Amino acid sequence: MILAVWLLWTVALPAVDSVLPQNDPVMPGDVLSVTESVTMRPATDWNVASGFRIDQRGADDSVPNIELTRGNITLTTRADTFDGTPDELLTQVDAVSAATGGGSVLELSGSPTPFATDTGLTGAQVDFTTPSIAGSITALIVDGTGIEVQVSGPPEQIADRAPEITTMIASISAENREAQ
């Protein structure tokens, strides 16, 4: 009997949970935590596959990476300590991607272009397009933290959602977090 309960909790339930689709739609006014002091306002018709709204916390009080999905488009944010420039962060992200078998995005794209959020955070961004996938990587540095935002999906879907993707990335803010 104990073995059956153990198998149920350690094997069966996690397996069932992993195959169920995540369904956590963004509601009007939702604000997600990118870090303890940086937020992002997602578009309302996207799904929160990972990440916390600013009033949520995990058991260890950490802030997980954000993963938003809409159809076959995925937008992810990752944050970690970083003391370089946005261009250096893009180069580091690209090197890690190339080393792990993902290929070099910087080889597919042109030179990084400057990017600024609505609140004045500045960074660098590269766009890429192949016959089967399109997207962008945006790098921002906020108080010693490097923030990477990657978007990828089918080129047609990326083109259709480009305005709201740009709006979401531009909404990244380090201001007035307590007031939100």
Nearest-angstrom CA–CA distance, 62 and 73: 26
Residues 6+ apart with CB under 8 A from 22: 47, 48, 49, 69
The per-residue pLDDT for 8 is 59
Q: Which contacts qualify for 94-97: CB closer than 8 Å, 24 or more apart? A: 94/137
Distance, in Å, from the CA atom of 38 to the CA atom of 142, rounded to the nearest integer, reads 8
Tell me the per-residue pLDDT of 115-152, one tens digit each, with 9 for 90 and over. 999 999 999 999 988 888 999 999 999 999 999 999 99
**Concatenated DSSP letters for 160-180?**
HHHHHHHHHHHT-B-S-GGG-
Query: Strand 66-70's sheet: what is its strand order?
Result: 47-50, 66-70, 73-81, 145-153, 134-142, 122-129, 113-116
> Residue 179's pLDDT is what?
45
- Residues 6 or more apart whose CB falls under 8 angstroms from that of 29 comprise none
Cβ(167)–Cβ(43) under 8 Å?
yes
Q: What is the pLDDT of residue 180?
A: 43
pTM: 0.82
Give the pLDDT score at 38: 95
The answer to whether residue 59 scores a pLDDT higher than 80 is no
Tokens standing for residue 38: 């940086």
